[in-house]
A and B are shown apart, each in its own frame.
Chain A
Amino acid sequence: MLCLTIYIHYQKTFFIMHEMVTREATLSDLDTLGTLWLTNAKLQAEYDGRFCPSTDGLVRWMDWARSWLANDLYTVILVAERDDYVLGYIAVQIEGGRPGMLPERVGRVREMVVDQHDGEGVGTVLVDAAKNWFYDRYVSVVLADVPRRASVQQAFWRAIGATVHTEVMYVKLGNHQ
């Protein structure tokens, strides 16, 4: 694991910072990742009312995450950490493309959560790690769904080179004329 030590001279005090690294998540990360997920899920519910964590949401999420860690062919959870402190994670998978369409397999970013307090640059590092993972598996197209109202997230994905593909729309039956 690459670990670069940088000494910063600031107000006569020396701090030691280590570079952020990424790795595949393990079962021992689940508690930390669960906490990150729950914090983010509550925020996400403000953007999209459909995604309101259920009362046993954290338990369900842990079950889901365990199943992803067990399936190492088509899914992975990658974490970014510095000094053994997890700063965020990205959960990605490979799935079949739409019937009759190319490519036959597409990558999907299912979740990306970054520590709100120490997250600078973490998203980019996670996406780079995910790109590597997909590239190694010959996936040529990756899709990520971002809430329309999440302007910071929208800007982030565009900044890393993502382009708009489709709009996901919904209709509440009973409201239309």
Chain B
Amino acid sequence: MLIRLARLDEAGDVAELWMQLVDYHRALDPDLPAPEPDGIQRYAKFILNLLRRDDARVYVLIDRRGRVAGYALGMIIDLVPEAFVQEKAGFIADVYIEPPMRTQGYGRALVEHLFNWFREHHLTLIECDVASKNTQGIAFWQHLSGRPIMTRLRFSPSPFSETDHGKP
């Protein structure tokens, strides 16, 4: 097993894993976003762009057959609005390990690589989003001393018919 930075020619492999991640989430909660019809191609393009940037890192887990069996994507972003005391933060967008490779510490190892990269940039605050129904994912982050600070809620705008506040 090997963990290293993803290469440009592996963007498609990472996108295949991303698709598995989306399916995994949709199985947990059908209300979570669906992929676009060409989602894999779009995501591969997105990864390809990130691999050329200095403010993002994609680490991959390579299995014994040389396949990409997991990945973790991290970015450096400004999470705090300008009016507040600024603290640049690391954002971990995706972590995924293929099912047969789970519970062997590879997810943690991938994340540790990102943590080290964040440390090199003197970042101490790391944020990630976890689907509320992904109890395994929440437990994973809690094991890394992660704590939930915000709940992201979702609603759909519907026609407003009861009154017409503010309209002529």
Contact = CB atoms under 8 A, between A and B. Distances in A.
Q: How many A residues touch the partner, as a band?
A: 35 or more
B165 A168 contact: no
Interface in A1-39: 1-2, 20-23, 37
B22 to A, nearest CB: 7
B51 interface: no
B82 A168 contact: no
Contact of A101 (B35, B115, B167): B35
A171 B111 CA distance: 11
Interface in B79-94: 79-87, 89
A100 B46 contact: yes
A133 to B, nearest CB: 8
Contacts of A163: 31, 153-155
Given A132-B160, A168-B151, A170-B125, A57 B84 contact: yes
A70 interface: no
Nearest to A137: B157
A84 B86 CA distance: 35
A17 to B, nearest CB: 15
A172 B157 CA distance: 36
A135 B160 contact: yes
Nearest to B19: A100
Interface in B111-168: 115, 118-119, 123-132, 138, 141-142, 144-160, 162-168
Contacts of A97: 33
A167 B132 contact: yes
A99 B43 contact: yes
B42 A53 contact: no
B166 A101 contact: no
A48 B115 contact: no
B152 A148 contact: no
B148 A129 contact: no
Given A146-B151, A165-B132, A50 B84 contact: yes
Contact of B40 (A100, A102, A162, A164): A100
A52 B85 CA distance: 6
A171 B126 contact: yes
B160 A166 contact: no
Given A23-B166, A48-B149, A148-B149, A165 B154 contact: yes
B32 interface: yes
A61 B155 CA distance: 27
B16 to A, nearest CB: 12
A169 B141 contact: yes
Contacts of A170: 89, 125-128, 146-147, 149
Interface of A: 1-2, 20-23, 37, 41, 48, 50-54, 57-58, 60-61, 63-64, 78, 80, 97-104, 107, 110, 125, 128-135, 139-148, 154, 157-158, 160-177
9 contacts: A97-B33, A98-B33, A133-B157, A140-B157, A145-B150, A164-B132, A170-B126, A173-B125, A177-B145
Given A54-B86, A168-B127, 15 more contacts: A50-B84, A50-B87, A53-B84, A57-B83, A101-B35, A102-B33, A102-B35, A103-B33, A131-B158, A141-B156, A145-B150, A165-B31, A165-B132, A167-B129, A169-B147
